[in-house]
Structure 1
């Protein structure tokens, strides 16, 4: 689930991640958070300046591989926060 807020400022985009305990143990949550950060770093050039993006990881994120997670995040960012 992705939430996007756009401000009038032309600052760099900001990312926030919500990974609750329902997703899994601390190790699992941190792994998902690191994967999300890596995907967002790759997609940064295509994200509009001034965007505030919050990505909420659902429990199913614990079982998907990196390529599937990347495809889902990129799809959401293209649809909601692209330049």
Structure 2
């Protein structure tokens, strides 16, 4: 489970981040914003509508995304808020493909926002590409 400090919990925060820049692919879109406090922990939020499927499918996707985001915490700088919006096509992805897509979009968006990645993680660019 993601620590509470690493989760977006307020509706106003979801709306603010969702209006920001985004990076997407078939099945998902990642929205992001840099917070004013650059030392604040990176936070993640998830939007999975009922169009994606029944509750079992939505919850499985949410759990998978949380696990992927735990890995991403080590790769992303502090002060970043990301909201991952999953579309119905995401329900058809296996874990490895979902992981690859989320990581690629999140890292691309962080770079576009001007957030600097942690140096030792930058060497894994071939895995993300």
TM range (shorter): over 0.9
**Structure 2 segments unaligned to the other structure (5+ residues):** 1-28, 112-116, 118-129
Question: 1: distance between equivalents of 2:88 and 2:33?
Answer: 24
Higher RCO by CA contacts (8 Å cutoff, separation 6 or greater): 1
Q: Confirm whether residue 66 of structure 1 aligns to residue 106 of structure 2.
A: no
Gaps of 5+ in 1: none
Q: TM-score, normalised by structure 2?
A: 0.62
Pick the structure with greater CA Rg.
2
Scaled by the length of structure 1, the TM-score of the pair is 0.95
Shift in Å, 1:46:
1.0
Q: Within 2, Cα distance between the matches of 1:47 and 1:8?
A: 16
Aligned length: 83
1:8 to 33, 36, 40: 36
SS in 1 for 2:36: coil
